[in-house]
């Protein structure tokens, strides 16, 4: 049973009961309310009945007036007119004012089906209104999104190249009124000739291009244009192109300035490298002179001047020797930085063997024991990898503790890299210095404690950069250090 709240405008009690009975008879679980005056009617409308059945003429109130009141309030309640006598004109007037049907009181058998139909129509209207509200909400949402962001939507006739729509933001961006965009030839007139084809191409997939367009003010704007895949119309033709444009001028000028900064940096870096090489190379000759004559002074005049003079000559000799070592190392560093590594298959067993033979004297003097895992063939520069091993092993010998150095070189592999580790049992390094030691000239000790120039690890780092790999250290102060480095298996030489 359909539940129904019916508002019945009727002055006659028997007629009211007849209508109520008829509704129940038609299968409604009807709650019927009788009203006779305008006040009662308005009060009951607040409860929003499902249907209104109105006697055409009540004393002092009638169906037409009741209809007008209903419409004034904007309520969509099915309104049916009941009449005892047919007055065609009046009834047409009621229908014109929104009544859905009229029935003769002596033919109420039709009431049930008329109310059913009116309810169904009202429900359909309600659904349509809800759909329309949703649609216009969604339209507003999309319109707001599309027309207020920096991405300007556009639509173009693919055959004529004429814009058929552009977002209103276009006017602000380029200074041309939207109407001007719609003129034939607008694009060609304002876009750089070499960029004109960008929007006209009929791509099979989405694609993106950058175009340069002149603004009304005469400046040039870089537009990033995204073009959607052509969308076929009902007849299967792709006559319309759609896309978005975005002003990327700021991004472009940032990119350009980054690129020119990078170029300037690269060239000043190159100059610095050349300078370091030339300086360390050219300083060697005057240094040789200083060392030679200081040695001569020492040979000829030792014991002949006073004891202070002997001491001073000794300091000068020591200084010259230290400077010679420093320049030698700086030159090696400079050569590695400026030179091009000669990459090739390099047998690390051979590299390591050569390194040990170069260090034979230091190994024997310190009583060091060196062991190693089988070492692989890698893609690298033989001489640079030799320098790397030599620096790490000689540091492991140099920075030993009270015990004789025990050094082990291990090697493992992953899918992409070779991983090496040089481990020692030396004095170790405090954790806070583990990165700093790879910076050129950074030493943790005075030269009267441990000799050196602070270039060795910086060189190792540079060599790893050339091989597309990396190097890092782990250590426990007083217990030893580990120097790890990885070399990629794929050939990737960077310098
Ligand atoms: P140098 O050995 O000429 O001082 P490096 O660049 O080779 O320069 O090393 C920088 C610093 O790192 C060293 O002065 C030392 O303090 C520390 N260091 C390097 N290797 C080790 C090591 N195996 N054990 C302890 N300290 C080390």
Q: Would the pLDDT of 69 be above 80?
A: yes
Least confident of 125-129, 429-433, 447-451: 447-451
Sign of CA dihedral 25, 30, 34, 39: negative
Q: Would the pLDDT of 491 be above 80?
A: no
pLDDT at 494: 47
pLDDT at 495: 46
Least confident of 111-125, 221-235, 313-327, 385-399: 221-235
Mean pLDDT of 135-149: 90
pTM confidence score: 0.55
Q: How far is the CA of 442 from the centre of ligand 1 (A)?
A: 9
Q: Would the pLDDT of 287 be above 60?
A: yes
pLDDT at 330: 82
Mean pLDDT of 318-347: 85
Q: Determine the Cα–Cα distance for residues 130 and 362; give it in Å rounded to an integer.
A: 91
**Are β-strands 51-55 and 79-83 bridged in parallel, bridged antiparallel, or unpaired?**
parallel
Q: Which of 456, 473, 483, when mutated, tests ligand 1's pocket best, judged by the most ligand atoms within 8 Å of its CB? A: 456
pLDDT at 200: 67
Q: Which residues line ligand 1 (CB under 6 A)?
A: 391, 395-396, 399, 424, 426-427, 429, 437, 443-445, 452-458, 481
Number of alpha carbons in the 13 Å side-chain half-sphere of residue 106: 3
Mean pLDDT of 480-486: 97
pLDDT at 204: 67
Confidence of residue 202 (pLDDT cuts 50, 70, 90): low
Mean pLDDT of 175-186: 92
Least confident of 123-127, 266-270, 477-481: 266-270
Mean pLDDT of 88-117: 90
Q: Would the pLDDT of 416 be above 50?
A: yes
Q: Which of 368, 398, 429, 453, when mutated, tests ligand 1's pocket best, judged by the most ligand atoms within 8 Å of its CB? A: 429
Q: Determine the Cα–Cα distance for residues 7 and 44; give it in Å rounded to an integer.
A: 8
Contact present, 212 and 174 (Cβ < 8 Å): no
Q: How far is the CA of 452 from the centre of ligand 1 (A)?
A: 8
Q: How far is the CA of 423 from the centre of ligand 1 (A)?
A: 13
Q: Would the pLDDT of 225 be above 50?
A: yes
Confidence of residue 71 (pLDDT cuts 50, 70, 90): very high
The number of residues in the chain equals: 495
Mean pLDDT of 7-30: 94
Q: How far is the CA of 382 from the centre of ligand 1 (A)?
A: 23
Q: Work out the mean pLDDT of the chain and round it to a whole number.
A: 90
Mean pLDDT of 358-386: 95
Least confident of 74-88, 287-301, 324-338: 324-338
pLDDT at 174: 85
pLDDT at 201: 63
Q: Which two tokens stand for residue 72?
A: 């004034």
């Amino acid at each position: 049973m359909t539940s129904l709240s019916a508002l019945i405008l009727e002055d006659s009690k028997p007629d009211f009961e007849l209508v109520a009975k008829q509704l129940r008879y038609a299968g409604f679980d009807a709650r019927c309310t009788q009203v006779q005056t305008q006040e009662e009617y308005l009060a009951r409308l607040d409860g929003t009945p499902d249907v209104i059945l109105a006697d055409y003429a009540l004393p002092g109130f009638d169906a037409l007036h009741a209809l007008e009141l209903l419409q004034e309030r904007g309520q969509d309640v099915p309104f049916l007119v009941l009449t005892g006598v047919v007055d065609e004109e009046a009834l047409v007037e009621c229908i014109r004012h929104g009544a859905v049907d009229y029935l003769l009181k002596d033919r109420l058998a039709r009431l049930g089906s008329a109310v059913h139909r009116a309810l169904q129509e009202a429900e359909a209207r309600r659904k349509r209104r809800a759909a329309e509200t949703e649609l216009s909400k969604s339209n507003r949402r999309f319109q707001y999104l599309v027309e207020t962001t920096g991405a300007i939507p556009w639509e173009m006739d693919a055959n004529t190249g004429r814009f058929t729509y552009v977002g209103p933001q276009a006017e602000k961006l380029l200074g041309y009124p939207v109407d001007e965009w719609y003129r034939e030839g607008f694009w060609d007139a304002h876009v750089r000739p070499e960029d004109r084809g960008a929007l006209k191409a009929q791509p099979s997939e989405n694609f993106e291009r950058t175009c340069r367009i002149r603004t009304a003010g005469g400046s040039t704007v870089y537009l990033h244009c995204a073009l959607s895949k052509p969308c076929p119309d009902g007849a299967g033709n792709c006559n319309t192109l759609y896309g978005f444009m975005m002003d990327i001028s700021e991004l472009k000028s940032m990119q350009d300035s980054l690129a020119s900064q990078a170029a300037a940096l690269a060239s000043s870096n190159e100059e610095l490298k050349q300078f370091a090489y030339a300086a360390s190379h050219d300083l060697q000759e005057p240094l040789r002179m200083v060392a030679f004559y200081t040695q001569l002074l020492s040979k000829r005049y030792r014991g002949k001047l006073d004891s202070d003079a002997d001491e001073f000559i000794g300091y000068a000799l020591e200084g010259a020797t230290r400077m010679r070592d420093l320049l030698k190392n700086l030159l090696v560093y400079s050569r590695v930085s400026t030179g091009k590594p000669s990459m090739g298959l390099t047998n690390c067993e051979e590299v390591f063997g050569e390194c040990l033979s170069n260090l034979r004297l230091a190994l024997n003097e310190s009583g060091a024991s060196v062991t190693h895992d089988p070492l692989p063939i890698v893609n690298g520069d033989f001489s640079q990898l030799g320098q790397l091993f030599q620096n790490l092993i000689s540091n492991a010998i140099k920075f030993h503790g009270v015990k004789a150095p025990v050094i082990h070189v291990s090697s493992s592999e992953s899918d992409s890299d070779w991983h090496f580790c040089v481990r020692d049992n030396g004095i170790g390094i405090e954790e806070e210095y583990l990165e700093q030691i790879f910076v050129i000239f950074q030493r943790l000790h005075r030269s009267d404690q441990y000799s050196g120039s602070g270039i060795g690890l910086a060189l190792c780092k540079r060599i790893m950069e050339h091989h597309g790999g990396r190097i890092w250290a782990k250590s426990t102060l007083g217990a030893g250090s580990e120097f790890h480095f990885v070399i990629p298996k794929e050939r990737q030489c960077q310098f």
